[in-house]
Amino acid sequence: MNSYSLYGQSALVTGADSGIGKGVALALAQAGAKLLINYAHNQAAADQTVSEIKTAGGQAFAYQADVSHEAQVQAMFAELYKQYDTIDILVNNAGLQKDSKFVDMTLDQWQTVININLTGQFLCSREAAKEFVRRGVVERVSRAAGKIICMSSVHEVIPWGGHVNYAASKGGIMMLMKSMAQELAPHKIRVVSIGPGAIQTPINHSAWETPDALNKLLTLVPYNRIGQPEDIGKLAAWLASDEADYITGTTIFMDGGMTLYPGFSDNG
Give the active site residues.
Answer: 166
Closer residue to ligand NAD in complex, CB, 145/231 = 231
Give least dist CB 5 to ligand NAD, A: 25
| Closer residue to ligand NAD, CB minimum distance, 35 or 145 | 35
Q: Residues with Cβ < 8 Å from 65, sequence gap 6 or more?
A: 38, 40, 72, 73, 75, 76
Span 173-202, contacts to ligand NAD by CB under 6 A: 196, 198-199, 201-202
Q: How far is the CB of 103 from ligand NAD (least distance, A)?
A: 23
Site string for ligand NAD, 59-78 (x = CB under 6 A): -------xxx----------
Binding of ligand NAD at residue 58 (CB under 6 A)?
no
CA-to-CA separations, 99 to 31, 110, 121, 203, 233, in angstroms, rounded: 36, 9, 20, 11, 26
Encoded one letter per residue, x for contact with ligand NAD by CB under 6 A and - for no contact, window 26-45 reads ------------xxx-----
Q: Taken in order 77, 3, 241, 47, is the CA torsion positive or negative?
A: negative
Q: Which of 142, 137, 143, 173 is nearest to 155 (CA)?
A: 173
Closest approach, Cβ 237 to ligand NAD, in A, equals 16
Q: Which long-range contacts (CB under 8 A, 24 or more apart) does 38-43 make?
A: 38/12, 38/13, 38/14, 38/62, 38/63, 38/64, 38/65, 38/67, 38/76, 38/94, 39/15, 39/63, 39/64, 40/15, 40/64, 40/65, 40/66, 40/67, 40/94, 42/17, 42/18
Cβ proximity to ligand NAD, 56 vs 96, nearer residue: 96
Out of 32, 95, 146, 172, which residue is the one contacting ligand NAD (CB under 6 A)? 95
Based on CB atoms, which residue is closest to ligand NAD, 20 or 240? 20
151 binds ligand NAD (CB under 6 A): yes
The answer for residues whose C-beta is within 8 angstroms of residue 131's C-beta and 6 or more apart is 77, 81, 86, 87, 146
Minimum CB–partner distance for residue 140 and ligand NAD (Å): 32
- CB nearer ligand NAD, residue 10 or residue 119: 119
Number of residues that bind ligand NAD (CB under 6 A): 27
Instruction: Give me the 9-28 binding string for ligand NAD, x by CB under 6 A, dash otherwise.
Output: -----xx-xxxxx-------
What are the phi and psi torsion angles at 153 (to 5°)? -175, 160
Angstrom distance (rounded) from CA 243 to CA 238: 7
Binding site for ligand NAD (CB under 6 A): 14-15, 17-21, 38-40, 66-68, 93-96, 116, 151, 153, 196, 198-199, 201-204
